[in-house]
Amino acid sequence: MLILIVDDHELIRAGLKQALQAAGHNIVGEAASLAEARAELLFTQPDLVLVDVNLPDGSGLELITPLLRCIVLTLGDDPTSLQQAHRRGAAAYVLKGEPVTHLLTIIEQLENSTYHFAAPALPQNRFDLTQRELDVIQILQTGWSAKEMASHLFLSEATVKTHLASIYRKLGVKNRTQAIVVALANHLIAE
């Protein structure tokens, strides 16, 4: 598999390159920034891009498109980055603390077309919340009324109330306060 490595740490790039080449993959390029990665993409035709979230000139998530297979590599398990990576079409979200064999297994599955997006505990999968319900949960702790939330999300007040009822049912709670506690505990919203 032809792979482009995008990470601002030279040591990480060197380690990934060594492990990937030992597994029989070809490294077609390396980049330490978003700008370098975009230039590399113009001149190389990678089958896969390994991309870090935090780059000196922006987020590596900006490189992800449905037409480009990307595996996001990151130090942190930030739920927001995870959700963005998934929505943008990343193939996987892998923590840098994982064993290299985990990454190699994912790449092998991608080659065989048997891989489906995986990541450390996607919150919306745990409770089966829709994207719109996640949007409502994000602003739940503001204390806004359903009418104010509806205005902010460009929804009707009745739709927000329907989403709230569904959220409460899915989280197994009876009110906003309990929903906020469960959402915080499960990293559905940031503190």
- Once rounded to an integer, what is the mean pLDDT over residues 137-145? 88
Higher pLDDT, 128 or 169: 169
Q: What's the pLDDT score for residue 77?
A: 65
Confidence grade of residue 123 (pLDDT, cut at 50, 70, 90):
very low
The pLDDT value given to residue 124 = 42
Spatial distance between the Cα atoms of 149 and 154, rounded to a whole number of angstroms = 8
Find the DSSP H helices in the chain: 10-22, 34-43, 79-88, 100-111, 123-127, 131-140, 146-153, 157-171, 176-185
Q: Which pLDDT belongs to residue 95?
A: 84
Q: Residue 126: what pLDDT?
A: 65
pLDDT(139) > 70 = yes
Whether the per-residue pLDDT at 152 is higher than 60: the answer is yes
Range(s) for CATH 3.40.50.2300 in the chain? Answer: 2-120
Question: Which has more pLDDT, 20 or 82?
Answer: 20
Dihedrals phi, psi of 42, to nearest 5 degrees: -70, -30
Answer for the pair 96, 67: CB distance below 8 angstroms, yes or no. Answer: no
Which of the four CATH numbers 3.40.30.10, 3.40.50.2300, 3.40.50.300, 3.90.550.10 does domain 2-120 have? 3.40.50.2300
pLDDT mean over 125-151 = 85
Supply the CATH classification number for the domain 124-185. 1.10.10.10
In 3D, which of 13, 4, 71, 10 has the Cα closest to residue 42?
4
- Per-residue CA distances from 83 to 47, 89, 132, 153 (Å): 23, 10, 13, 18
Where does the chain hold its CATH 1.10.10.10 domain(s)? Answer: 124-185
Express as a percent the part of the chain with pLDDT over 70.
Answer: 90
Q: What is the model's pLDDT at position 116?
A: 58
Percent of the residues in the chain that have a pLDDT greater than 90, as a whole number: 47
| pLDDT at residue 122 in the model | 43
Compute CA distances 29 → 33, 45, 46, 187, whole Å.
12, 10, 8, 35
Confidence of residue 132 (pLDDT cuts 50, 70, 90): confident
Q: What is the reported pTM?
A: 0.63
Q: Give residue-wise pLDDT tens across range 29-61.
A: 999 999 999 999 999 989 999 999 999 999 999
Q: 53-100 pLDDT, tens per residue? A: 999 999 999 999 878 899 999 887 666 777 788 778 888 888 888 889
